[in-house]
Structures are given as C-alpha cells and as structure tokens.
Structure 1
C-alpha cells in the first residue's frame, strides 16, 4: 500500500532517499541517449524502467529465453501431455521490499500479481517448531511476543545472551554494521552472543541460507542487517506475499508490456560477449552471432559469473583495480530446485511454505496449489499436488542423481502421504549463479559506479550502503544505477525507500556505539 503521506507501507519510520534534482526527462534533442542494459533480472528490469520513464532509449538484453533472472519462469510439457509452469524457485515478497513493489506497481498498480501467505512454519528435525503468524509487527513488541511463545527461544535464553555482544543485532546501522561485524562469520557471531542452539537452527540458519550460504561462510554483518530488515528495524512484519501465478504471468509479462509502451526494445535468448569502444557512439556492445549494438552508456546487471565473463571479454572496460575486483567476485555454492507433480494431493493442513532444518539437504517445501493459480488448475484437473523442494548451499560438486533420493526421503519423512504418490513428472534446476557474501568481503564488493561514469553495475552482488537484501537489493541497485546515469544527463532520478537505516531505539544506539579512542 502507499499511504496518503507518501510512505510506501505502514512504517512511518521508513526512510526516503531522494534523488539529485534535475530535468523531468532527458534534455530535449533529436537523439536521446541510448543505454544498453545487460541482464533482465530484477536489477536490469528496474534500471531499464527508471531510464525509459525519463525518456532514455533503452535496449534490454537477456541471455535466458525469459525475464526475471533468478525469479524467472517458463512453461513446460509434462509426461501426461499437460502443460504446466516451472519457476527458478520460491521467492518471498516481503512488505518492506518498497522499491521492488514500486517497480511491480508500474504495470500492476494494485499488486494483483501477489497474494499473501498466512504463515510459514519453521520446523527442526528434533521437533522444534516456530511460527510468525499473529505476532505484533512493531519492534520491540514483535520480539517480545516471539520470545513469549517460542519453544526454541525462551526468557531464560534472553538472560543468557551476551548482552553487549548482542547489541549490534538490535541496533544495526548501515554501512557501519559492516565495520563492526564483517570480519566475523554468522555462525561464530551467534556462538559469541550465546544464541540458543535450537533458535539458531530455526530462525537464523534458515534465514542465512536464503543467501544460499552456510552460516559459517556468511558475513555476520549480512546476518545482522537481515535481522534488522525483517525483524527489529521494521514494523512491516515477517509475513510475506508470493506470486499468485507463475512468475512470467504474475510479474514479468505485465512489466514487459509496460516497458515496450515506453519504447524499450527487449531481447531474450541474447548473449552479450563484450563491451568495447564504439565508432558512432561511446560503446559497441557485441552480441553472440556478431551483431553490434551502439550505446552511449551501459548497465551491467548480470549474475557474478556473467559479470566476470563479460568484463574478461571487454579489456577496455574499467581500470586494473576495478577489473581485479570483478574477477575476484565469489559465487555462492550450488542450490537445487525440484518441482514434483504428484498424482494425489498432500493433506489439506500442509502450509503453502515450510522452512526446514536438520532434514538432510532439504531447506524448505512449497505446496504450490495453495497460492499459484496455474498449479491449482493442474492439481484440480488431475486430483494431485504440485510440490517444490529446495536445497541451498550444497557442498562439493552436487548432482541431481545424488540429491534426488535424499530429497524425496525427507519429503516422505515430513509429509508421509507423499510416499505412496506417483510422480507424474518432475523438473530439477541445479544452479550456482548467486553471489556470496563471505566475512571480510564487504570492502571488495564492486560499487554501482565504475571508473567509467557511463558504465554502472546493478544486482544483488553490488555494494549499496542501504539496509536492503536479496530481491530488494537487486531492485534498489537497479534504480540507483539508473539514477547515476540520469545524473550525468542533468535529469532527475527516482526516489528510493528503505527500512530505517539505523536502529529504532536511541538508548540502545548509545550502548552499542564503539567506545571513543583515547
């Protein structure tokens, strides 16, 4: 929702980050600037939208045959002859994703492409279970209510916490939190503050692995920022929305039509090989197959591997230090998304989404007919269910053949009724294209701006000094990348919003501030 006072949600402490002033559109001329946006994930779509809305000529290029990047989807034909949807995996659209939701509102003002989930339980193999339904939204009452009813984090655990060591969790300030905690990994930090073991597995390991990383390989600053965004820094709550249909139908096809109405040319199944100095314009963008696209500026909004390859193939881009920083970008371990079409339904009480811990490689289970329209149609017509399994941060060199029986065994353990079901068909997406945020990595992350003011980066791999994460980081960096280029042309950018950029409680801020040097 957008409030009458202009706030994008219910939190009156949400922070607006205004753009630099300038013209409402690029200064009038017969030839507006042309920007090539490489990558049509959330970041690339956000950058393309914000540029096109200011009169820039945009060419959007995507390697995959679909839009959305890691939030992409497509249609597939099943063994029984039916047509079904397949996505890259489950994604939660939290209410504090202000910039992402503003992007989607361009084509869907009432966000009809999203639907709320009433709850998402977190279950541990030892029998622990936590839930977020019914909690107050406003800090600190949300934390107090969680402790009051949680079987994994009780009042006795609060008294055992290392109070001063735990203060950064309650008083995150971005980017200062990275100066405090980036040298630590998330697992060590939780040990240091004596966080209870059961709550660590349920609440924090589940959240840290949504970064596709094991807690021992994730910066403690990233975990603390996540806690701030979703729990103690915002009163938007911990419940979230999901796409009401497969991602193309619910999200990206409407946005593509919106972009095309603005004059944007969108090309999928198009690989960019290099960006080099051009003859007629500043850059010549070489595509697979030999076509060259002239551009005045470029937005590089790819995954880490794509950016490394593109920069390696573009020797004139940037300077030696910047190129070295890009070449060293780490990628997170592989993850697996397995979607199963079953010939019988799961039990009616099964939630739409459930996070798991201690169940082998399995990190969560989705029952898609609970919220996705096309899955519900298939399940109703076939009398079955559509179930999706996720496994994150997979060690070594995993294979579907090795993981599949282990994932199925855990599904049957959690939902015994699925053991007797026949799998009508299945699809597996084993990928390793997410960024990794290891300890001591923040200072080495590339910024949105580069040594060339006409080349900018966007995506969740990019450093941005705002409290944003995951899909919201992608959308925000895309908008900020567009703003950087618009500023070059004396044109006003787009306002950004975030949860408060520092802790909500002044007394705790003073306690958590580093002692002055003598």
Structure 2
C-alpha cells in the first residue's frame, strides 16, 4: 500500500531467517470493500490450501465470500477423516518447510506463533543398498550447505564433484523463474541429471526422492521443475532442509481452525456440496449446485486437475477456446498409494519421524506418526504399539491395491526389522490419482492464475506461478495471487507475497551459468 504523505515507509517484516528472501509487495488500494455500495460477491470452488487461502484473503478485505467444497470437510489433498474415535486417516504425510512463507502466513492467522507445528530433527534418506544420507547438522546457508553435505556424504564425494560437467551443473546455481523453464522445461529430470554427471548413487538417493515428491518418475518430470525445487530447498535458501510437521491430525490442527476463521470473517463455507456448472452472464456468474444457484461477481476455481477439466467442459460460457483447450490438456500424475498401519508394537525409538527411501520396489517413504503426532502418540501410550504410514508414488495406471499394500508392508518389515513380527491391528489405505503432472515441455501451456475473463481466476498447485514456489507453497501462493487479482478490480489493497530469492545466490556462478547457456 502507498504510504501516507509525511509518514516513513515501514519495511515489510521478513517471514524467516533468510535475508535474501524476496517480497512482492501488494498492489496499493483501499483497505477494504467498505467504500463500495455493496461488498462484491465471490464464490470459491474448492476447499484445499489454494481455495481456503483465496477465501481468507478475500474475506479479510470485506468481500462477501462463499466457499464450496464437494468433500464433507475442508482440506483438499490435505484432508483428514475419522476412521474410528481414536484414529484419523489422511492422504499422507506432508512437510511444512520453513521457506513456505505464504503458506505459513495463512497458518499464522490462526496460530500466530505457529504453535500448531513442531520441527523434526532430521529426515534421512536410505537406499536399498544400505547407503544413508542425513541433512541434520549441515549449515543452512548456501554455498556452505553444499560444502557441508559433500564433505559428509557417502554418495557424493569431492571426486564425484570433479567429474561433473560444470557447464551443465551451473544451471542449478542460476535458477530464475520463468527463465529457467524457458531453458530446461523441454528436458526431463533424469536426462538433465545424467548430463550433469551426477554419480548414480547420489542421483537415485537424493534427486529421485525429491522428484517423486511430485508423484512422478524423473523421466516424466520437467528438469526445470527439478532445478526449481533444488533451488527452493537447497541452493537458493538459507532456511535449511529440516521441516516442521503438524502436531496433530490435519482436521484438528489445520482445517477446523481455518474453518472457524472463515466464519469469523463473515464467509460462508459449504462442504459436501458439488458445483455442476458455472454460467457467465452480463451481470456476473451463476454457480450451479445440486440444490441452488449462487450468484457471484467473481469466481475462484481452486479444484484439482480432473475437477477443473470437468467443470470447464460443462461450463461452455467460461473463458475462450484457447484457454479452454489448455485446461482440457492438463494431465494428472500417475496413481499413488498411502497406507497407514496401526501396529501392536512400536518402532525402535531411534527411528526418524520420516524416512525417504530409494531403490526399493515400490516403497518411497516411511513415517512413524507416533513420533510427532499427538493422536498417534496417544495410541502408542494406550496400546504400546505404533502408527506407521507408507507411501508408494508413480504407480502403474492399472494397479492392484492389495498387491501394493502387501509389497509395502513386506518392505517395511525389512527396513525396520523390529516390526517384522508386528501384527496390524487396524489399517487404512488411499489409492488416488489427482495430482498435477509437470511433464517436460508443459510449462508454456500451463494455465495461469488470470484467465481471459478478469473476474474468473484459478488457484492451485496445478497453476503456473512465476515465482520459485512448489507443492503446498505453490498452492498457497496461487490462492493469494488469485485474491489479489480480484481485489485489484475494485481498487482494494492486496496481500504481500514472499519467496526465496528468484536468482542464484552466487554472482560468479550466475555468470558462469549464463556463459554456458549462451
């Protein structure tokens, strides 16, 4: 917002420890919609991170907001539901990194000190051959974090560093969005790492764990996406690679407080309600549900890929042909499976809360929830057992869930031998395929927050955002960006956005990268 005449400009408060973090200041404007004859009406379709962020950002500025979510509760891909009075099931473990500035800004609205989160001490990576890496104790600031990792690494040595292709490797040190996508999006992540000359062990252990967090095999992931992710978490930030996790189940810790916040802000939250189609008319939008028609001056579409494709296909008055074809072309990543097991005995006390795995048949990570989640800790205290979650990403399209569950359980018993004889007292499984695919060559066609209609915006991790953000942070950033785009129509002040620096940390390496690219 523009400062009042005669008053000093207050610099924005940095959201973390990184002095190189960058702010995208909010567009100036009125503090709220109170100057208008009536508050503009906005309908937000989708109640995940992106939709809730957009709804909060709009409601805070005085808009009349209705959020519509098809599931019984908020949460999207972070939703949770009761499997029994003492057991909650979710769609899987998520890491809340300290460089997720915009997601944390949303959470601070309900927990100013972020007391809902607790840090993990480490998340080791384990290869099937027994090689293990750790991120605990290494420096957090580039380039010392790289030096610390290399000096301690068992899979990436100084000799490996000398054998690398410096011309290709320098691209990792000069990430800037969207330029990096123009340079690397046509290449797949696997080819990019081979061209750099990463040792095979390090490539499989570290980079496959990172790339598969996008639910895709490295051969089907854009190299630009991988380079951006490496920049966010390692080379471009001094926040470090150690993350936080929610203290309790997602509904209790995240979604119930955010639901209450929306209600306190005057927003209306309608869960268990599907939107069948949206009509665009001269006076605004009509949003059709099974029971009513909601009128709106603006709409935020914050659904998953399949939901967005279906809704746009069934709403022929939205957008223009080019935009509609881009929506129709969106793809989902391969299926993934999350298995949560309530066991009759505990994992060993020295186990990490989260273990990334590589080289196993299907197993991608193991989480021991009773090491960090209050509900699971209560289960352990009451039963003497443990709550363990297993993930398998990038599964075949035609997959037998029972076979995958059996395979994951067998691999768990091998990796954590103290659980070899554990009995499964309860189990819950989620097999889904609704995450966006960031395939090589797709960035230029990815839809942006804005659309051909200035009153219609998109939000979600499927959306192109020209900032170094990914995963949950991309979802939150797109939600604030969508709200800012709509607020600007009514000359209402937007919300500041933050990201890690959108350039390499080393001027020397940036120059070297640009020489090699030229």
Cα distance in structure 2, aligned partners of 1:398 and 1:293: 40
1:452 corresponds to which residue? 453
Cα distance in structure 1, aligned partners of 2:446 and 2:517: 28
| Mapped contact 1:71–1:89 kept (Cα < 8 A) | yes
1:298 corresponds to which residue? 299
Cα distance in structure 1, aligned partners of 2:446 and 2:281: 28
Question: Are residues 92 and 177 of structure 1, via their aligned partners in 2, closer, same or farther at CA, if it must alter by over 3 Å?
Answer: same
Alignment of 1:174-193 (within 5 A): 174-193=177-196
Q: Within the alignment, does 1:408 sit opposite 2:404 as a pair? A: no
Q: Within the alignment, does 1:41 sit opposite 2:56 as a pair? A: no
Match among 209, 216, 224 for residue 212 of structure 2: 209
1:390 corresponds to which residue? 391
1:487 corresponds to which residue? 488
Tell me how far 1:515 sits from its aligned partner: 7.0
Match among 159, 162, 167 for residue 162 of structure 2: 159
- Report the secondary structure of 2:214's partner residue: coil
Match among 67, 73, 76 for residue 66 of structure 1: 73
| Mapped contact 1:27–1:491 kept (Cα < 8 A) | no
Question: Are residues 11 and 169 of structure 1, via their aligned partners in 2, closer, same or farther at CA, if it must alter by over 3 Å?
Answer: same
Cα distance in structure 2, aligned partners of 1:251 and 1:465: 27
Match among 269, 273, 298 for residue 270 of structure 1: 273
Tell me how far 1:243 sits from its aligned partner: 0.8
1:242 corresponds to which residue? 245
Alignment of 1:96-135 (within 5 A): 96-135=99-138
Cα distance in structure 1, aligned partners of 2:173 and 2:512: 11
Tell me how far 1:269 sits from its aligned partner: 1.0
Tell me how far 1:377 sits from its aligned partner: 0.6
Tell me how far 1:399 sits from its aligned partner: 2.6
Tell me how far 1:39 sits from its aligned partner: 0.4
2:5 corresponds to which residue? none
Cα distance in structure 2, aligned partners of 1:277 and 1:291: 16
Aligned residue-pair number? 509
RMSD, aligned α-carbons = 1.4
Tell me how far 1:152 sits from its aligned partner: 0.4
- Report the secondary structure of 2:393's partner residue: strand
Question: Are residues 417 and 314 of structure 1, via their aligned partners in 2, closer, same or farther at CA, if it must alter by over 3 Å?
Answer: same
2:6 corresponds to which residue? none
Question: Are residues 320 and 224 of structure 1, via their aligned partners in 2, closer, same or farther at CA, if it must alter by over 3 Å?
Answer: same
Alignment of 1:423-438 (within 5 A): 423-438=424-439
Tell me how far 1:335 sits from its aligned partner: 0.4
1:381 corresponds to which residue? 382
Match among 226, 231, 235 for residue 229 of structure 2: 226
Cα distance in structure 1, aligned partners of 2:389 and 2:122: 17
| Mapped contact 2:86–2:375 kept (Cα < 8 A) | no
Cα distance in structure 2, aligned partners of 1:74 and 1:405: 24
Cα distance in structure 2, aligned partners of 1:275 and 1:252: 26
| Mapped contact 1:362–1:407 kept (Cα < 8 A) | yes
Moved over 6 A (4+): none
Tell me how far 1:256 sits from its aligned partner: 1.1
Cα distance in structure 2, aligned partners of 1:263 and 1:252: 17
- Give unpaired runs (5+ residues) of structure 1: none
2:97 corresponds to which residue? 94
Cα distance in structure 2, aligned partners of 1:498 and 1:27: 31
Instruction: Note the alpha carbon deviations across 1:477-506, whole angstroms, 9 max, x for none.
Output: 000000000001111100000000010111
Cα distance in structure 2, aligned partners of 1:515 and 1:84: 54
| Mapped contact 1:26–1:55 kept (Cα < 8 A) | yes
| Mapped contact 2:346–2:385 kept (Cα < 8 A) | yes
- Report the secondary structure of 1:420's partner residue: coil
Tell me how far 1:516 sits from its aligned partner: 9.3
Cα distance in structure 2, aligned partners of 1:422 and 1:511: 56
- Report the secondary structure of 1:210's partner residue: helix
Per the normalisation by structure 2, the TM-score is 0.96
Cα distance in structure 1, aligned partners of 2:193 and 2:281: 52
Tell me how far 1:398 sits from its aligned partner: 1.3
2:364 corresponds to which residue? 363
2:318 corresponds to which residue? 317
Cα distance in structure 2, aligned partners of 1:300 and 1:107: 24
Tell me how far 1:83 sits from its aligned partner: 2.5
Match among 278, 284, 287 for residue 286 of structure 2: 284
Per the normalisation by structure 1, the TM-score is 0.96
1:139 corresponds to which residue? 142
Tell me how far 1:396 sits from its aligned partner: 2.8
1:511 corresponds to which residue? 512
Cα distance in structure 2, aligned partners of 1:202 and 1:358: 8
- Report the secondary structure of 2:382's partner residue: helix
Tell me how far 1:512 sits from its aligned partner: 1.1
| Mapped contact 1:447–1:462 kept (Cα < 8 A) | yes
- Report the secondary structure of 1:259's partner residue: helix
Instruction: Note the alpha carbon deviations across 1:23-62, whole angstroms, 9 max, x for none.
Output: 1112523421010000010000110010000000100011
Which region of structure 1 is more displaced relative to structure 2, 145-154 or 388-397?
388-397
| Mapped contact 2:173–2:509 kept (Cα < 8 A) | yes
